[in-house]
């Protein structure tokens, strides 16, 4: 894309998009261009439609991936090429409401016990104990741990938002042991990545190996620890608005999925059949 790529990258930077998002958008713009072997300036709505259908029908990509591709091309035409009409009427692919995988408390314990490295065990423990996204856990700093107020300060979360989440008493104890052994300086979990902190790919690899070693057969990722954190909080009676705050969700709608996941809550519900013929049945008329 040459000069156009540079313009789009500058526009993304000016708009305040984060590095990962800029890279994703530029990659989709490049793939779109390569697919038709023509510059985007010579194409428009028909080509964008055809390309998105190609991603859905031929490449069988997920709705989340297609939505990202659409957003990238929308930005390209709307902001960089100043042709908003090309993408104004493009439908947005509906996102299926799938329930996230959740590990039980016993499974979380087995998973953590399967990690031999104290450092990597601490990373996964932090993701679960505080409901962190994997990128948030990788980028934790020592000063983010507020032991006086029992809070963890999460910087630059999704959407560039900062927030506070809970600092577990048990996690704090393990962190103090970890500090005494490793003496981390800038990053809580240093690594060999460009920034100096542990990389996302390393955490994903450690998690995958621990999943196999622990004998857990559920389809899970490090993000499953965040889902499990939220679900277990709900099952302990924590208000859903509090869960929204510690997860950093911009909308309560995103948090409410856990009300469907909490099988323990569903299991406590009594069917009206169970009260027929009893004194409680009077409320049924």
8 A C-beta contact, residue 270 and residue 243: no
Q: How far apart are CA 127 and CA 129, in angstroms?
A: 6
**Which of 258, 260, 265, 270 is the catalytic position?**
258
**Which of 158, 174, 209, 265 is the catalytic position?**
158
Token pair 């990690």 is found at 115
Domain with CATH 1.10.150.130 in the chain: 3-86
**Which of 74, 133, 139, 232 is the catalytic position?**
133
Active site residue 258: yes
**Which of 24, 70, 139, 249 is the catalytic position?**
249
Active site residue 265: no
- Helices 240-247 and 222-235: crossing angle in degrees, nearest 10, is 150
**Hey, which CATH number is domain 105-267, 1.10.3720.10, 3.40.1350.10, 1.10.443.10, 3.40.1710.10?**
1.10.443.10
Active site residue 223: yes
Q: What is the pLDDT of residue 283?
A: 46
Q: How far apart are CA 124 and CA 229, in angstroms?
A: 12
Walk along the chain (285 residues) and give the pLDDT tens digit of each residue.
789 999 999 999 999 998 889 999 999 999 999 999 999 999 999 999 999 999 999 999 989 899 999 999 999 999 999 999 988 888 888 877 777 788 999 999 999 999 999 999 999 999 999 999 999 999 999 999 999 999 999 987 777 788 999 999 999 999 999 999 999 888 999 998 778 999 999 999 999 999 999 999 999 999 999 999 988 888 888 888 888 888 888 777 777 777 666 655 555 555 666 656 565 545 445
Active site residue 19: no
Q: What is the pLDDT of residue 190?
A: 93
pTM for this predicted structure: 0.71
Instruction: For the chain, give the secondary structure using H, E and C.
Output: CCHHHHHHHHHHHHCCCCHHHHHHHHHHHHHHHHHHCCCHHHCCHHHHHHHHHHHHHHCCCCHHHHHHHHHHHHHHHHHHCCCHHHCCCCCCCCCCCCCCCCCCHHHHHHHHHCCCCHHHHHHHHHHHHHCCCHHHHHCCEHHHEECCCCEEEECCCHHHCCEEEECCHHHHHHHHHHHHHHCCCCECCECCCCCCECCHHHHHHHHHHHHHHCCCCCCCCHHHHHHHHHHHHHHCCCCHHHHHHHHCCCCHHHHCHHHHHCHHHHHHCCCHHHHCCCHHHHHHC
**Which of 22, 139, 226, 227 is the catalytic position?**
226
**Which of 49, 110, 223, 265 is the catalytic position?**
223
Q: For the domain covering 3-86, report its CATH number.
A: 1.10.150.130
Q: What is the pLDDT of residue 284?
A: 46
Q: How far apart are CA 219 and CA 152, in angstroms?
A: 28
Active site residue 82: no
Active site residue 77: no
Domain with CATH 1.10.443.10 in the chain: 105-267
């Amino acid at each position: 894309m040459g000069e156009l790529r540079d313009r789009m990258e500058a526009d993304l930077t000016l708009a305040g998009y984060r590095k990962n998002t800029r890279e994703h958008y530029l990659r989709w713009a490049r793939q779109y261009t390569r697919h038709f072997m023509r510059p985007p300036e010579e194409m428009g709505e028909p080509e964008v439609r055809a390309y998105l259908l190609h991603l859905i029908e031929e490449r069988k990509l997920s709705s989340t991936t297609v939505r990202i591709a659409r957003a990238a091309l929308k930005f390209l035409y709307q902001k960089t090429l100043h042709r908003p009409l090309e993408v104004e009427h493009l439908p947005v692919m509906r996102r299926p409401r799938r329930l996230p995988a959740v590990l039980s408390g016993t499974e979380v314990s087995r998973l953590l016990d399967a990690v031999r490295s104290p450092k990597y065990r601490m990373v996964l423990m932090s993701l679960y104990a505080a409901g962190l996204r994997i990128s948030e856990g990788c980028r934790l700093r020592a000063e983010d741990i507020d032991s006086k107020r029992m809070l963890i300060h999460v910087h630059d979360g999704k959407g560039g938002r900062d927030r506070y989440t809970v600092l577990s008493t048990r996690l704090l104890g393990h962190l103090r042991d970890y500090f005494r052994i490793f003496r981390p300086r800038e990053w809580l979990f240093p690594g060999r990545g460009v920034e100096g902190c542990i990389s996302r790919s390393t955490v994903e690899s450690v998690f995958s190996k621990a999943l196999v070693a622990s004998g857990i057969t559920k389809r899970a990722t490090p993000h499953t620890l965040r889902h499990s954190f939220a679900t277990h909080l709900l099952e302990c009676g924590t208000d859903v608005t509090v869960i929204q705050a510690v997860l950093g969700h911009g909308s309560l709608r995103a948090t409410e999925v856990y009300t469907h996941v909490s099988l323990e809550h569903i299991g406590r519900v009594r069917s009206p059949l169970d009260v027929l013929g009893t004194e409680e049945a009077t409320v049924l008329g």
